[in-house]
Chain A
């Protein structure tokens, strides 16, 4: 029961916001059109779309065709079907493994990280306890350390624990998202009114109940935003899985595709499969695009959160 109401309640508000948001720039642009701005935006659009277009076009070429046809147009033979078939059968169909691994790592890691970030951020924002400032300072400090710098120490630690070359070696580090936690902290502060919590407490709801049925609903846009961030971050993570995993069957797409690409760039017995690297890259971004299309509106309202103090 509570779940259905969540689903109905939350899309409502963001959709409205998105609509009003769209209307305003439209009317103002009718008032005065700036050619400079239009050109600038067109350039930005090209900047964003051309690489994608290139990827789509070149996924349709054979390996030889890649090097003797114009980059931004199709070659004589249209080999997308062949490429796709070969993509999923090359080296015993290992690409499917990589795809599933990536979904697993990004799914479990992303959802886990988001839950932890929400719990932590909410706790820091809504409860006052000794050492809270220090925890917060620690989290902000952690945001400045790049994951790459931690990769080798993490490797040595995981090696002691015997977790190297297992899925856990990629999932566990992905569970910590200082940025997500900080975002949820800011979001909780702004979007969960203290008075609402007071009311819930007066009605006799436990803290857990208050969190689950009152606060969490208000936090949904923030939750989805953090979820997108962490899923995308884990989906694209390269360096950590690169040093943690040695078994190609455990690789995510990033490391696997790079291995194929490197294989094409080395030689000897090499079998260049640039065409499969490209087709593989195209297939690899499709799930992310789908996720974005579905969660976009939450993402927008989540990004705007905190911009205006109510």
Chain B
């Protein structure tokens, strides 16, 4: 699950700024348990015992995954003693603002919440979430893809059950490439060649677009180029866009933008869908969760699309990144931690539960379904009968490790458009824009009590 709207983030940024500071102030005092993770009094045995407990426990669960209710119903039917109430408390940043407010206020927070990977460190560091390692669930690692498990890590613990992932995939209009007589690009060099071919054919058209307000999209492209601008160790944070991978990304996209091969324009709006519908854009590089949106918004292009793994920087050396995805976290202040952990574990690992979520459109995080022949073999008419899951699973396997998000990524993303985004919009060097972004979030991080360096 992923959200790309800068709009909502900007509105809530102000509120979040305030609440973040508040949370940082109170963070130290409410960590009653000595392990610092919160909820250390629960063990794996308690979680199993909760499944058979007498009486009825009701869990509050916040998630904005659409169509999740049928999955929750499966659980509620099978577990009359643990009833889960699903609430959509708002999308992405909206929900995080509410969650942060509720945690600060000490009441109104749910037992469990869906949290996107990029926002997880912020809540984990505030000691608001239960660490799976503290409750004896570290052995779940083998159930999930490597990148999913890595993305729920923050500091010395794992703070959520991976629910879905979004390995980057290149969705392209096969009809357009065929007409131009070019193959789908497998490297970024080929990408540039194809982009120029599209431009030469019709100056009005672009190979793709880039959203100057979408930090997540740019993060993914930097990640895919093996750039690692963020690193976090406790409260020591390093932010530097000077590394080789980031520079490679910046140079390529400087070229793409200066030659007007890509359109610098917002995503998810009317113009964006129209461009994908009319063939003005030939591609959309995004997470593997995208097919649902494509099928519903531009049904008239069904059959013309294909999916492929992302272009790579060096032929024969696969490298990929994630875009979006979220996990299910149990709140440290929950009074029903054992039951909440039991439900969250089921949601992410039970094969029936995972299948129900895949049916609802999520791209999974568990390793078992990635090897499932039914899953791999499923063909899609929208993609002209292609077995797209094979591509997605390969994309997931190729994700390179070591990417970290900032413990104030929600804020950082909200100011991306005003800093780095300007470089995209004005066709000035992207590296300079990234430096402006770096400066602003460094100042913010230091103001929040982190020790931020730019090495």
Contact = CB atoms under 8 A, between A and B. Distances in A.
B357 A67 contact: no
B15 interface: yes
A259 to B, nearest CB: 7
Contacts of A148: 14
Interface string A116-146: 0000000000000000000000000000000
Contact of B68 (A164, A243, A269, A274): A269
Contact of B101 (A71, A152, A247, A262): A152
B195 interface: no
Nearest to B302: A64
A10 B163 CA distance: 63
B66 A263 contact: yes
Contacts of B360: 269
B337 interface: no
A244 B45 CA distance: 37
B2 A268 contact: yes
Given A262-B8, A268-B164, A242 B108 contact: no
A269 B270 contact: no
A44 to B, nearest CB: 24
Interface string B166-182: 10000000000000000
Contact size range, A = 35 or more
B49 to A, nearest CB: 30
Contacts of A259: 64, 88, 90-91
Contacts of A268: 1-2, 65, 164, 166, 287, 289, 292, 324, 361-363
A62 to B, nearest CB: 9
B296 interface: yes
A303 B403 CA distance: 59
A268 B107 CA distance: 31
Contact of B297 (A64, A159, A242, A248): A64
Nearest to A67: B273
B454 interface: no
Given A246-B62, A265-B5, A68 B277 contact: yes
Interface stretch (B92-100, B201-209, B311-319, B433-441): B92-100
Contact of A271 (B67, B166, B278): B67
A3 interface: no
Interface in A212-227: none
B209 to A, nearest CB: 15
Interface string A251-263: 0000100110011
A63 B88 CA distance: 22
A267 B289 contact: yes
A243 B8 contact: no
A2 interface: no
Interface in A49-78: 63-64, 66-68, 71
A66 B290 CA distance: 19
Contacts of A156: 101, 104-105
Interface in B40-98: 62, 64-68, 87-92, 94, 97-98
Interface string B123-149: 000000000000000000000000000
A66 B164 CA distance: 29
Contacts of A258: 8
Interface in A262-300: 262-272, 274
A71 to B, nearest CB: 7
B292 A151 contact: no
A265 B64 CA distance: 12
Contact of A267 (B67, B292, B300): B292
Contact of B293 (A159, A248, A270): A270
Contacts of B200: none
A25 interface: no
B302 to A, nearest CB: 10
Contacts of A243: 15, 97-98, 101
A272 B293 contact: yes
Interface in A20-66: 63-64, 66
B47 to A, nearest CB: 26
B3 interface: yes
B4 interface: yes
A64 B87 contact: no
Most buried by B among A64, A255, A266: A266
Contacts of B2: 266-268
Contacts of A262: 3, 5, 8, 64, 90-92, 94
A145 to B, nearest CB: 14
A165 B92 contact: no
Interface string B270-290: 100110111000000001011
A168 interface: no
Nearest to B107: A159
Contacts of A204: none
A16 interface: no
Nearest to A157: B105
Nearest to B359: A269
Given A271-B67, A272-B296, A265 B268 contact: yes
B298 interface: yes
A71 B102 CA distance: 42
B11 interface: yes
B90 A68 contact: no
A71 B270 contact: yes
Contacts of A151: 15
A71 B166 CA distance: 32
Contacts of B19: 152
A258 B298 CA distance: 21
A71 B269 CA distance: 13
Most buried by B among A151, A156, A162, A265: A265
A105 interface: no
Contact of A248 (B87, B164, B270, B289): B87
Contacts of B296: 63-64, 271-272
A269 B361 contact: yes
A266 B104 contact: no
A271 B91 contact: no
Nearest to A158: B105
A251 to B, nearest CB: 10
A63 B270 CA distance: 11
A160 interface: yes
B108 A246 contact: yes
Nearest to B289: A268
B284 to A, nearest CB: 11
Contacts of B64: 259, 262-263, 266
18 contacts: A64-B298, A152-B18, A152-B19, A155-B105, A156-B105, A247-B87, A262-B92, A265-B4, A265-B91, A267-B289, A267-B290, A268-B2, A268-B292, A269-B292, A269-B360, A270-B1, A270-B293, A271-B296
Q: Give me the 4 closest cross-chain CB pairs, A-B, nearest first.
A: A269-B361, A268-B289, A159-B105, A262-B91
Given A67-B297, A248-B87, 5 more contacts: A63-B296, A152-B19, A268-B2, A268-B166, A268-B289
